Amino acid sequence: MSEDTNDILNEFTNRDYEYGFSSDIHTEFIPKGLNETIVRTISAKKNEPEWLLDFRLKAFRYWLTLGMPQWAQLNIPPIDYQDMIYYAAPKKKEGPKSLDEVDPELLKTFDRLGIPLHEQKMFSGMAVDAVLDSVSVKTTYKDTLIEKGIIFCSFSEAVQEHPDLVKQYLGSVVSYRDNFFAALNSAVFSDGSFVFIPKGVRCPMELSTYFRINAMNTGQFERTLIVAEEDTYVSYLEGCTAPVRDENQLHAAIVEIIVLDRAEVKYSTVQNWYPGDKDGKGGIYNFVTKRGICKGDSSKISWTQVETGSAITWKYPGCILAGDNSVGEFYSVAVTNHFQQADTGTKMIHIGKNTKSRIVSKGISAGQSQNSYRGLVRVGTQAENARNHSQCDSLLLSDTSGAHTFPYMDIQNETAIVEHEATTSKISEDQLFYCNQRGISTEEAVGLIVNGYAKEVLNKLPMEFAVEAQKLLQISLEGSVG
């Protein structure tokens, strides 16, 4: 590659993190460390019923028996789980009745993030649940949704107001015994979002949760639970950012989705946690367990993710296709730069008959980063006529970065048709030359190619997020491209 192109790629891959400011919000902390007392304190702070405390304690005791998973293609420095605060919440009086009572600094924070909490200022057609550190600070458009019977509120609120629903579904897709981080989350989760779409309702607007880590030395452990009853549709968006800090902060979330007959859930994520600086200092450790179950016949779950942030990402959103004719989709763009590491992919578990899944994963590696796709397609013995197509492409933008693919295909039914393809290469010099000779500068050409490469996934994002995702891709990679 010519010097010129190298310079452009370097420039291209060196842009600062835009959301790195921190806000001066009065925050309430609990003491550092993790033990049963801490778990009980979190539960007490949230005024939780006995069964939920039991759930937490069981999870905590199980977590104590586990060790950190070592199998990922990641170099995770030792994490001191006792040197961390497990609950941090913006101080409030009685809980804001209206926005006027909310800390203005907090409103400003979300305004700066482009997430205004005043309903009149928002994109019409999107309800937002804003989560700062450990608690949800505001959920917008709640009343409009309630008219339709849709419940969209913070997880803590759901525990108080809809305990039966929470009890029925909590841990039904991701058990606390699922893995190390799932057990940790189940023990100390603080807040998150709860969505319930009753039978026959098509959610009239996009639902969105915005997660923000603000406090220092804290971990964020939120939990999202989405239940879509028969014949429903909902599109749920998730965004996240964190301030620039030299320390590494831990984010270990769980997302559970339950989809009944003929229902569809579209879950989109733009993950932009602070990735650390150019020398790999700081950044969020993003260890997330996301899974949905297509319980009903002809149901569908679609995961779309744009992963640009986090120092280390460990994340495999999955679909259990239990209902006949159910469909699972996974579209992902994962960008790693500087010293970021990502080991991400999906799991498609085919159980019902005539189930289909599609995986499109696009990895872009720059700087000294390592970017891995790890995915499982399992076709069970009863899963007649299962169909899967997986496509995993990797683009390398520097000679010091790494792109890896680890697909696992376990096929136990002869009627299955499973296909997997993957390619790894850099941007072809022929393509750049072609653009150059047609008057497109190398800089623009690289931009065009990267954008075109990720387009298939970006197109799957809802409009509002697609704009943000494209912007993010520019921040992460397209420094000098207009």
Partner 1 sequence: MQQYIDFFNSQRQKIDESCAPLLNSFREKAFDTFQGLGFPAYQSEDYQHTNLSALLKPDFGFYLNHPNAEINPHKVFPCNVPNLNSYKHFVVNGCYYREPMAQELPQGIFSGSLNEFAKQHPAVFSEYYNWQVDEKGDGLAAFNTMFVQDGYVLYVPKNVVCEKAFQLTNISGGKVDSLTNRRILVILESGAQAKLLVCDHTTDTQPLLAATQVVEIYAEENASFDFYELEESSPNTIRLTTNFVQQADSSQVIIHNITLSNGITRNNYQVDLEGEHAETHLYGMVIADAQQKVDNFTLINHHVPNSLSNELFKYVLDDEAIGTFGGRIIVVEDAQKTQACQNNHNLLGSSGCRMFSKPQLEIYADDVKCSHGMTTGQLDETALFYMCSRGISIQEAVLLLKFAFTNDVLQSIRLEGLRDRLKLLIEKRFRGELVKCQGCI
Interface with partner 1 (CB under 8 A): 1, 71, 73, 381, 394, 396-426
Q: Which is nearer to partner 1, 252 or 427 (CB)?
A: 427
Query: Closest CB to partner 1 among 225 and 360?
Result: 360
Q: What are phi and psi of 139, to 5 degrees?
A: -120, 125
Nearer to partner 1, 291 or 404 (CB): 404
Residue 170: C-alpha distances to residues 159, 164, 189 (Å): 10, 10, 12
The CB-of-465 to partner 1 minimum distance in angstroms stands at 30
DSSP 3-31: HHHHHHHHHHT----TT-------EEE--
Q: CB of 426: closest distance to partner 1 in angstroms?
A: 4
Under DSSP, is residue 167 helix (H, G, I), strand (E, B) or coil? helix
Closest separation between CB of residue 238 and partner 1, Å?
29
Burial class (CB in 10 A: 0-12, 13-18, 19+), 400: exposed
Q: Tokens standing for 391?
A: 């496509």
Residue 81: count of CB within 10 angstroms of its CB: 15
Cβ proximity to partner 1, 246 vs 419, nearer residue? 419
Distance of closest approach, residue 138 Cβ to partner 1, in angstroms: 45
Q: Which CB atom, from 71 or from 143, has the smaller least distance to partner 1?
A: 71
Whether the CA torsion 168, 220, 373, 450 is positive or negative: it is positive
Per the rule left: phi > 0, alpha: psi between -120 and 50, beta: everything else, 384 is beta
Q: Whole-number minimum distance, CB 38 to partner 1, in Å?
A: 34
Instruction: Identify which of residues 21 and 408 has a Cβ nearer to partner 1 in the complex.
Output: 408
| Least distance CB 410 / partner 1 (angstroms) | 5
Query: What minimum distance in Å lies between the beta carbon of 62 and partner 1?
Result: 21
Residue matched to tokens 């800390």: 103
Answer yes or no: are the C-beta atoms of 261 and 296 closer than 8 Å: yes
Report which of 278, 305, 343 is spatially closest to residue 76, judged by C-alpha positions.
343
Residue with tokens 């999955």: 318
| 7 or 246: CB nearest partner 1 | 7
